[in-house]
Amino acid sequence: MEIDAFLLSRIQFAFTVSFHIIFPAFTIGLSAYIATLLGLWLKTGNPKFHLLARFWTKIFAVSFAMGVVSGIVLSYQFGTNWSRFSVAVGNVVGPLIGYEVLTAFFLEASFLGVMLFGWKRVPPWLHFLSAVIVAGGTALSGFWILSANSWMQYPAGHEIRDGIAYPVDWLQVIFNPTFPLRFAHMMTAAYLTTAFVVLATGARHLLAGHRTESAKTMVRMAILMIALTAPLQALIGDFHGKQTAIYQPAKLAAIEAHWDSSRPGALVLFAWPDEKAELNRFEVSIPGVASLLTHGSMDALFKGLKDFPPEDRPPVLIPFFAFRAMVGIGVLMILFGWAGAWLWKRGTVFEARSWLLIAKHSWPAGFLAILSGWFVTEVGRQPWLATGLLRSKDAVSPVTAAEVAISLALFVFVYCVVFAAGIVLINRLVEKGPDEISPEEPPEQPSQRPLKAAQAPAAAIFGDGRPGDDKIQPAS
C-alpha cells in the first residue's frame, strides 16, 4: 500500500472522527439526563436531583468543549482533505450540514451558556428549559449528521450530471432509506452509553463507602435506562442489519465474511478472513442461521463477496471483527442490565459487591460499542465515499503527502495531550462525586410546590424519599 495523501487523509479522518464521536455520543445522552434531573427537581423539589444536575453539568461542560473543538476540525476537513468530495456531492450533502449548523449548533452553543452560568441568573423553569433546549439541540445535530452520513451510505433523491450530484427531491435526500434506523440506532447508543457512565459513577461511590442517596439514585436511574434501552438497541440493530441486506449487500457480506453466495447462508461465529485467498480460515459457523436472521427464512439466498467485482468490495477484516465486538458488548449490556434490575427488585443491588465492581468498570462499554459500530458501517461502505457515486480515492484534495503527514502527526500529538488531560480532569470530577463537588448552599426552592400524588411514582423509582435520605430536606 502506497503512503500517499489519500492513505494519510483516510487515517487522519478516521483518527479525528473516532476521537470526536466519543464526545457527542456522551453529551447527547448526558444533556438529556441533566434535563431529566432538573425536571425531576422542579417536579418533586427533592434537592438530590439538583445536586446531581449540578455535578453532571460540570462533567458535561468539559465533555461538550472537547466535542465542539474536535467537531470543527471535521467540518473543515471536508475541504482541506476531501475537496473533490465537497464538489461532487456538495449540492446535496452541504445543505444538510448547513441545516445542522443553523438548527442545532447555535441552539446548543447559545443555551449552553445559560445552562452552565445561569443557575442564579435565570429562574429555575428557564434554566430547566435551557437544559431541555441543549438536549434537543444535541439530538437535532445527530439528526442532520446521520442524515448526511446515511445519504453517503445509500444516496437517494438526487441525479448525476457530469459527475456532480444535484438534488431532485429534498425529502428523499433527508429521509433517505437507511437514515431512520441508523438515526434510531445512534441515538439509542448515545443514551445507553451515558447510562453506563452514570452507573459506573454511582457504583464507584457506593463501593468507596459513600452510601449517599445521590449515588444510589444514579445506580437506580441507570439500571432502569439500561434494562429498557439495551434490548431495544438489539432490536433496532437487527432491523438495521436486515436493511443492510437490501441496500448494502456487499457490506453485509463483509460483516458476515461470506465469500460465496449460499442458500441458506451459515452464520460465521468466528473465522480469520483471508482477503487474498478469498476464504475464511479457522471458521466456526452454524448452518442456515445467517439467512434466518437476515431474511427470516432458512431458504433465503445470502449474497457473498464474490458476487461483487473485486474493486467494489469493502475490506473484510475490520467490519467482521468490529461487528462481533459491537454485538458481543451489546449482549453483555442486556444481561448485565437485567441482572441489575433483578438485584434491584430483590432489594440487594446496593450490597451486591461483585455486580457493583463490574458496574464500576463498565463505563467504556458504550464507547467501545459505538466505535466498533462506526468502524463496521464506515469501513463497510468502502471503497465508496458516496456509494455508487464517488470512490474514496477520487475524493482526496490536491495536497501533498508531506502536508498531510505533518497535520496527521500534529493531530495525533494534540489529541493525545488534550484528550488525555480531559479524561484525567473528568475522572477527577467523578472521583469527588456530587456530594463533595456541589456546593453546600441549599438550592432555591422551585416556584412550584410539589404535589404529593405526583411525587409518589417518582419516589418509587428514584428513591423512597424517607426523611434522612438526603442531607438537605426540601423546605416545605
Partner 1 sequence: MEWYLPVIWAGLIGTAVMLYVVLDGFDLGIAILFPTTREEGERDQMMNSVAPFWDGNETWLVLGGGGLWVAFPHAYAIIMPAFYIPVILMLLALIFRGVAFEFRWVAKPRHKVWDFAFWAGSTVAAFAQGLILGGLIQGVKVVDKQFAGGPFDWFTPFTLMCGVGVVVGYAALGATWLVYKTEGPVAERARRQAKMLVPGLLAFAVLVSLWTPYAHPRIAERWFTPSNLMLLWPFPVLTAFCGYMAWKRLHGAHEFTPFAFTIAIFLLCFLGLAISNYPYLVPPGLTIWDTAATPAAHVFVLIGVTFLLPMILFYTAFVYWTFRGKVKADAGYH
Question: Of 53 and 254, which CB lies nearer to partner 1 in the complex structure?
Answer: 53
- Answer positive or negative: Cα dihedral of 408, 426, 52, 334: positive
Task: Provide the pairing of β-strand 158-161 with 164-167.
Answer: antiparallel
Q: How far is the CB of 62 from partner 1 (least distance, A)?
A: 5
Among 90, 177, 315, 364, binds partner 1 (CB under 8 A): 90
Stretch that binds partner 1, among 111-119, 180-188, 324-332, 382-390 (CB under 8 A): 111-119
Contact 447, 125 (CB under 8 A): yes
- Rounded to whole angstroms, the Cα distance separating 258 from 249 reads 11
Stretch that binds partner 1, among 61-69, 210-218, 312-320, 340-348 (CB under 8 A): 61-69
Question: Of 268 and 429, which CB lies nearer to partner 1 in the complex structure?
Answer: 429
Q: How far is the CB of 21 from partner 1 (least distance, A)?
A: 16
Binding mask 392-431 for partner 1 (x = CB under 8 A): -----xxxx-xx--xx--xx--x---x--xx--x--xx--
Question: Of 74 and 228, which CB lies nearer to partner 1 in the complex structure?
Answer: 74
What cell was used for 430? Answer: 467523578
Using CB under 8 A as the binding rule, the residues of this chain from 154 to 213 that contact partner 1 are 166-167, 170
What cell was used for 264? Answer: 441458506
- Rounded to whole angstroms, the Cα distance separating 421 from 65 reads 13
Q: How far is the CB of 401 from partner 1 (least distance, A)?
A: 11
Question: Of 157 and 465, which CB lies nearer to partner 1 in the complex structure?
Answer: 157
Q: How far is the CB of 160 from partner 1 (least distance, A)?
A: 12
- Rounded to whole angstroms, the Cα distance separating 18 from 176 reads 24
Using CB under 8 A as the binding rule, the residues of this chain from 121 to 150 that contact partner 1 are 121-122
Among 3, 106, 211, 263, binds partner 1 (CB under 8 A): 106
Question: Of 9 and 229, which CB lies nearer to partner 1 in the complex structure?
Answer: 9
Residue (of 334, 358, 415, 327) closest to 23 by Cα position: 415
Among 7, 11, 62, 293, binds partner 1 (CB under 8 A): 62
- Rounded to whole angstroms, the Cα distance separating 469 from 471 reads 7
Task: Provide the pairing of β-strand 384-386 with 279-286.
Answer: unpaired
Among 118, 157, 177, 383, binds partner 1 (CB under 8 A): 118
Question: Of 87 and 339, which CB lies nearer to partner 1 in the complex structure?
Answer: 87
Q: How far is the CB of 402 from partner 1 (least distance, A)?
A: 7
Stretch that binds partner 1, among 99-107, 182-190, 382-390, 452-460 (CB under 8 A): 99-107
Secondary structure (3-state) at 398: coil
Binding mask 215-254 for partner 1 (x = CB under 8 A): ----------------------------------------
Among 20, 50, 58, 360, binds partner 1 (CB under 8 A): 58
Contact 284, 270 (CB under 8 A): yes
- Rounded to whole angstroms, the Cα distance separating 350 from 213 reads 11
- Rounded to whole angstroms, the Cα distance separating 39 from 46 reads 11
Q: How many CA atoms lie within 13 A of 291 on its CB side?
A: 16
Question: Of 242 and 432, which CB lies nearer to partner 1 in the complex structure?
Answer: 432
Question: Of 105 and 350, which CB lies nearer to partner 1 in the complex structure?
Answer: 105
Torsion of CA 446, 448, 451, 457, to 10 degrees: -50
Among 11, 68, 317, 458, binds partner 1 (CB under 8 A): 68
Integer angstrom CA distances of residue 214 from 135, 219, 373, 458:
22, 9, 33, 15
Classify each residue of 344-364 as buried b or exposed e, where b means 16 or more C-beta atoms within 10 Å of its C-beta.
beeeebbebeebbebbbebbe
Q: HEC states along 272-283?
A: EEECCCCEEEEE
Question: Of 184 and 395, which CB lies nearer to partner 1 in the complex structure?
Answer: 395
- Rounded to whole angstroms, the Cα distance separating 174 from 157 reads 8
List residues near partner 1 by CB under 8 A: 57-58, 61-62, 64-66, 68-70, 72-73, 75-76, 78-81, 83-84, 86-87, 90-92, 94-95, 97-103, 105-114, 116-119, 121-122, 166-167, 170, 397-400, 402-403, 406-407, 410-411, 414, 418, 421-422, 425, 428-429
